[in-house]
Amino acid sequence: MQDDLTAAIEMHQSGQLTSADRLYRQVLAHEEDNADALHLLGVLRHQQGDHDKAVELIRRAIALRPNIPAFHANLAEAYRALGQFDRAAGSCRMALRLWPDYPEALGNLGLALQGLGRPEEAAEHFRQALRLQPKSATLHNGLGTVLRELGRFDEALDHFRQAVELDPKLALAQSNLGQLLLDRGRAEEALPHAQEAVNLQPDLAALHNNLGNVLRTLDRLVEARDAYTEALRLDPNLAKAYAHLGLTLQREGQFGDALPWMQQAVELEPDNAGWWENLGDLRMDREEPSEALTCYERVLALKPDRAATHNSLGWALQDEGRLTEAAEHFRTALRLDPDLGGAQLNIGGVHEELGELAEAETAFRAALGIQPRFAAAHARLATLLRGKLPDADRVALEQQLADPKISGESRATLLFGLAQVLDGQGDYARAAECLREANVLALEHAKRRHRDYDPAQHEQFVDNLLQASDASFFARTAGGGSDSRVPIFVFGLPRSGTTLIEQVLGSHSHIHGAGELVLVRRSFESIPAVVERSEWPIHCLPQLDADVVRRLAEQHLQWLSGMLPSPPTPLPSGERGEKPAPLSPLGRGVGGEGPARIVDKMPDNYMYLGLIAAMFPHAVLIHCRRDLRDVAVSCWLTNFRSIRWANDPDHIGARFTQYRRVMDHWRAALPIPIHEVDYEETVNNLEGVARRLIAACGLEWEPRCLEFHRLSRPIRTASVTQVRQPLYTQSVARWRNYERELADLFARLPAP
């Protein structure tokens, strides 16, 4: 039996675990009380991940020979692997009573104390162990992990480096050194260590995850995905690998593909606030603020004093139109972190949406008081005041632009703001110069984030859309749409006057302007689930019939019902010289309550008119048109949050060309009318246009529609300041101000 035990130990030490396991069990079959075999088989089980069995076996060995320090030290490691840190610490102390200068037991006690949240004590025990065994790579690595936790990063780096120098084959030390270098912003230096760790121990999932983190930071996203995938193959329950794979896909702009990975991370670790925060951010990227709300609320349930999350929750609430709650969370974020200038900036954004422009200016200035070099605050103030920006503010903005150290993204933000000021002051040549650089920088930033625009991809989408939305589509879906007359859809290119028209309509006592809703796109994207297919929505259009359209319309109305305001208060009799108009015979809104009509003003809905007409054959469709040159100038001037095609003249020209194709198709194919509204006509004959649109909505005329700028409602759009003013004509033929400077842009637009 002694020969078998010796052979088992040799195999164990050489990594032949299966053979060692067989021989240990063979020894125990003949001598069940062999303490050494029990102990070493327990160690082997611990190495294989069966920590409960390891505890059982080592405790049996201790019962037979209680005075062996190594037995207690290894039992401590098995307990630690089970998360039983108190028991682990107790076993280490027993080993140290038997051998006070036992380096490994001191190191294991350090690990147990670290698990108990006592890093200072843990560090002291590691130092004691290193005084006894200064050349131990394992002890240097352990002390490095504790020092990193204590925020003593330079010391931690030194110990990780010593560990790697003493034992270059210690995979955990290589990985820890790489991860800390990554955390310190030295990704290039981290990469070889993360790669070596994986080469040394390719069966450890955490090392592949760490390698993925380095590769993701270096923007080597395909390789990062491969690393995370391998980590999950080795350990399907590694929550952080799911989260990091989702983050990688999110960075690539693949928001839909990222979602299930992020969701899996929070399912595996439902109390991990970081994963919930990541999922909330992804939901915001997907323009799903209501779903993001749930995620951020979960974060705050776990960590109520997290200022950044209060700020994020406020942003999601603002997106949902819940401005009072949004402002409260922004204020809470500031109370928790008075240096969080972004929260103060967002308070200004709430005031701006509410038309409280003086208060917005005060808030933007307060943000600059917190962060004097806050590019977004400088730009928001400049955009708000435009040509009226005081000289001192303009000088501060230009001084920041002169700083060679500012990032490209911040520089672009400042340039867009300065261009608004110059445009307002009539300095069009210099405004064009700023815009040219700003748009180039914005384009570069989008490419770095893998969110650049692909005109060919959009053209292919339009090809598929028009092919699927032919006469047979409308014949196949006829009769399936809702009878609801509630929806009004206002659409067109951005900056074509959609906000103005919504404001005019929303001034009517029986029309509610709901802003830019994503419901149509959500209905479109839900088509695969409704028809039970796994293809892209565009490829599922041929599967739509009357029954599917009816279900889509019912689903859409359910979503819309959650956005209804309280029933409108009728105007008092005689206000503005007229008795309030009686309620239209069309009836109330969804569920019999609310306004008779609801405006969904989403410019891009022009792409989904076929689906809209099928779902709501009684809807009012209002197409806002404007001279494409004026639209192009306005887009070129605007620092959009989510429009990806507005920074490149070629992209603008291609997008406008496809827009023309789509609208020409709908005019010929759509079974319901499209009400065309020209911006230029609206400016010159507001009452005539407004009367025509109110009549198209089946409602009686109300003069208050001409005083749209008095309407008290939140407005979230780049046009927020313009629609708070009476109608003006300065934006008609605005392109002439840039006829020479932007000739290359105008040349790319489709012919009038």
* CATH code, domain with 589: 3.40.50.300
* CATH code, domain with 332: 1.25.40.10
263 within some domain: no
CA distance 695 to 693: 5
Task: Give whole-number Cα distances, 419 to 291, 422, 646, in Å.
Answer: 36, 5, 15
240 within some domain: no
- What is the maximum alpha-carbon separation in the chain? 110
- The single-letter code of the amino acid at 558 is Q
* CB neighbourhood size of 390 (10 A): 10
pLDDT of residue 730: 67
The answer to whether residues 431 and 341 belong to one domain is: yes
The answer to whether residues 476 and 550 belong to one domain is: yes
Domain boundary pick from 424, 448, 472: 448
The answer to whether residues 494 and 431 belong to one domain is: no
CA distance 465 to 591: 33
Phi, psi values for residue 675, rounded to 5°: -90, 115
CA distance 681 to 692: 12
Above pLDDT 90, what percent of the chain? 83
- Band of residue 569 on the pLDDT scale cut at 50, 70, 90: very low
Domain boundary pick from 406, 431, 448: 448
Pick from 317-321, 394-398, 726-730: least confident: 726-730
pLDDT of residue 524: 95
250 within some domain: no
87 pLDDT exceeds 50?
Answer: yes
- Which neighbouring-strand residues pair with 599? 488, 513
619 within some domain: yes
265 within some domain: no
CA distance 500 to 489: 14
pLDDT of residue 278: 97
- Band of residue 570 on the pLDDT scale cut at 50, 70, 90: very low
Expressed as residue numbers, the domain containing 651 is 455-568+584-747
Written as one string, the DSSP assignment of 194-237 is HHHHHHH-TT-HHHHHHHHHHHHHTT-HHHHHHHHHHHHHH-TT
Q: Are 568 and 510 in contact (CB under 8 A)?
A: yes
Cut 0.85: pTM above it: no
The answer to whether residues 216 and 339 belong to one domain is: no
DSSP H helical ranges for 133-183:
137-149, 153-166, 171-183
Give the pLDDT mean for 597-625: 96
At 628-669, the pLDDT tens digits run: 999 999 999 999 988 999 999 999 999 999 999 999 999 999
* CB neighbourhood size of 752 (10 A): 6
Question: Average model confidence (pLDDT) for the chain?
Answer: 91
The answer to whether residues 404 and 536 belong to one domain is: no
Q: Are 556 and 484 in contact (CB under 8 A)?
A: no
CA distance 381 to 205: 49
At 92-144, the pLDDT tens digits run: 999 999 999 999 999 999 999 999 999 999 999 999 999 999 999 999 999 99
Give the pLDDT mean for 241-245: 97
pLDDT of residue 457: 94
Q: Which residues, 6+ apart, have CB-to-CB distance to 474 below 8 Å?
A: 610, 613, 614, 669, 670, 671
The answer to whether residues 164 and 67 belong to one domain is: yes
pLDDT of residue 518: 87
Q: Which residues, 6+ apart, have CB-to-CB distance to 270 below 8 Å?
A: none
Token digits of residue 744: 């290359």
Domain count along the chain: 3
SS3 string of 428-477?
Answer: HHHHHHHHHHHHHHHHHHHHHCCCCCCHHHHHHHHHHHHHHCCHHHHHHH
- Band of residue 717 on the pLDDT scale cut at 50, 70, 90: low
Q: Is the dihedral of CA 393, 398, 403, 404 positive or negative?
A: positive
The answer to whether residues 45 and 134 belong to one domain is: yes
The answer to whether residues 465 and 430 belong to one domain is: no
pLDDT of residue 751: 84
Give the pLDDT mean for 673-694: 95
Token digits of residue 617: 């054959």
pLDDT of residue 584: 34
At 4-13, the pLDDT tens digits run: 899 989 999 9
Tokens 């109305």 sit at which residue? 557
Q: Which residues, 6+ apart, have CB-to-CB distance to 341 below 8 Å?
A: 367, 368, 370, 371, 374, 377
The answer to whether residues 611 and 733 belong to one domain is: yes
pLDDT of residue 560: 87
Q: Is the dihedral of CA 644, 649, 654, 659 positive or negative?
A: positive
At 416-454, the pLDDT tens digits run: 999 999 999 999 999 999 999 999 999 998 888 778 899
74 within some domain: yes
Domain boundary pick from 165, 199, 234: 234
The answer to whether residues 188 and 297 belong to one domain is: no
- Band of residue 514 on the pLDDT scale cut at 50, 70, 90: confident
Written as one string, the DSSP assignment of 531-573 is HT--S-HHHHGGG--HHHHHHHHHHHHHHHHTT--SPPPPPPT
The answer to whether residues 415 and 494 belong to one domain is: no
246 within some domain: no
